[in-house]
Amino acid sequence: MNYSERYLQTRARTESICYPLKTEDYVVQPIEDVSPPKWHLGHTTWFFETFILKPFLPGYNEYDVNYNYVFNSYYETIGSRVIRTDRGNLSRPSVEDIYNYRKHVDNAMLQLLQTSISEKIKELVLLGFNHEEQHQELLFTDIKYILGHNPLFPKYSEDAELGLKIPSGKNSMATIQEGIYEIGHKGDGFCFDNELGRHKYHLQGFHIAKDLVTNGEFLDFLNDGGYTSHQYWHAEGLNWVKTNNIQAPLYWHKIEGAWYHYTLGGLKPIPMDEALCHISFYEAAAYAAWKGMRLPTEFEWEVAASTFEWGHRWEWTNSAYLPYPGFMRAPGAVGEYNGKFMINQMVLRGASECTSPAHSRASYRNFFHPHLRWQFTGIRLAL
């Protein structure tokens, strides 16, 4: 597949994710961490326009000079921007305007990609593909939060969320021997800068679960008073529980004595044999403590990844998000992509059912603040 073909495929998938939405759904922003779908559509377009078209396509005509302010996310190098909490206040530009913006940029990008582009441009285009694929996953998670907090629990799609049933014989553990292992991205394929700096890491021997924790297993924790038993929680996590009156995973609802959860297919009974989803690091760590176990470190997870099936849930690890040895931020705005966030966040490994095809790899380092749970997050235990 050449660059033009992949560009069209990537852009089409983003729009296909938004296809089931009503116009009103495109604008909603219930919380700071959830961006309106139309903002995602504009921001991913702005990325190609700002980093590729404006510097590299001679005579490129910028679609709207105000869009740099509207769709810049966090790039200080690029200039001022709408603060994140105000994205839902942008009734204009309209959804129609943003789709026209996408067409304008797509036409220009195809014009550029049909020429002989430099290695530098190729690198930026690949980054743009992967950046948009990240936002495709964010679209699923943000759309689910938007619709899942609508009191009518409207459906997005009947078949968008399949779940993962845990096979019989669960709770088996893989054993990894003590040794010195290599960590980090390997090979010539694309990776983000936070995966680079392959290095040796000494691990003590450990055991890691071959299966993810199920809804039923987590319900046992809940029914045993897990959310009110202080001995299982980090102090910060317990404060989060009390302050926010957390009593169950995100999207769980107890209705007339039975447990339901909101899915992209609407409100449904919770299948107890499916992998748990939408929990914070605090909840994951507390559950592990209740089980007399722990979460794996990101290094243990990467070394052990070949011993189990992964890719259905982003899996919390017990590792802070920090740079690998030798990490250096790239110059300019591209250098703001990952390095500036290496503080007060925890690493997640794996992928989820909403991760874009071919976007997951064992060295991928996702990262979020420990209280967040709108992503498709789950638990794998270690010992």
Q: Are residues 118 and 34 in the same domain?
A: yes
Q: Are residues 216 and 256 in the same domain?
A: yes
In a domain, 165, yes or no: no
Cα torsion 228, 229, 234, 239: sign: positive
Q: Are residues 122 and 186 in the same domain?
A: no
Q: Are residues 139 and 178 in the same domain?
A: no
In a domain, 166, yes or no: no
Q: Are residues 191 and 321 in the same domain?
A: yes
What pLDDT, on a 0 to 100 scale, did the predictor assign at position 336? 63
In a domain, 153, yes or no: no
Q: How many CB atoms lie within 10 A of CB 309?
A: 12
Q: How far apart are CA 96 and CA 38, in angstroms?
A: 10
Among the listed residues 182, 240, 223, 208, the one whose alpha carbon sits nearest the alpha carbon of residue 315: 208
Q: Are residues 108 and 233 in the same domain?
A: no
Q: Which of 110, 133, 148 is the last residue of a domain?
A: 148
Whether the Cβ atoms of residue 369 and residue 342 lie closer than 8 Å to each other: no
What pLDDT, on a 0 to 100 scale, did the predictor assign at position 295? 98
What pLDDT, on a 0 to 100 scale, did the predictor assign at position 169? 56
What pLDDT, on a 0 to 100 scale, did the predictor assign at position 204? 98
What pLDDT, on a 0 to 100 scale, did the predictor assign at position 196? 94
The CATH number covering residue 238 comes to: 3.90.1580.10
In a domain, 157, yes or no: no
Q: How far apart are CA 37 and CA 17, in angstroms?
A: 10
Q: Are residues 223 and 357 in the same domain?
A: yes
pLDDT tens digits in sequence order for the chain, 383 residues long: 899 999 999 999 999 999 999 999 999 999 999 999 999 999 999 999 999 999 999 999 999 999 999 998 877 777 788 888 989 998 999 999 999 999 999 999 999 999 999 999 999 999 999 999 999 999 999 999 999 999 999 999 877 666 777 765 567 999 999 999 999 999 989 999 999 999 999 999 999 999 999 999 999 999 999 999 999 999 999 999 999 999 999 999 999 999 999 999 999 999 999 999 999 999 999 999 999 999 999 999 999 999 999 999 999 999 999 999 999 887 776 666 777 889 999 999 999 999 999 899 999 999 999 999 999 999 999 99
What pLDDT, on a 0 to 100 scale, did the predictor assign at position 294? 98
Q: Are residues 122 and 190 in the same domain?
A: no
In a domain, 162, yes or no: no
Distances (CA, A) of 128 to 44, 121, 243: 8, 10, 39
The structural domain count of the chain equals 2
Among the listed residues 44, 47, 35, the one whose alpha carbon sits nearest the alpha carbon of residue 139: 35
In a domain, 161, yes or no: no
Q: Are residues 219 and 347 in the same domain?
A: yes
Domain assignment of residue 327, given as a range: 173-378
What pLDDT, on a 0 to 100 scale, did the predictor assign at position 1? 84
What pLDDT, on a 0 to 100 scale, did the predictor assign at position 161? 61
What pLDDT, on a 0 to 100 scale, did the predictor assign at position 335? 67
Residue 378, CA atoms < 13 Å, CB-side half-sphere: 25
Residue whose token pair is 């997951």: 360
In a domain, 154, yes or no: no
In a domain, 160, yes or no: no
Whether the Cβ atoms of residue 366 and residue 349 lie closer than 8 Å to each other: yes
Q: Are residues 122 and 179 in the same domain?
A: no
Q: Are residues 13 and 141 in the same domain?
A: yes
Q: Are residues 15 and 140 in the same domain?
A: yes
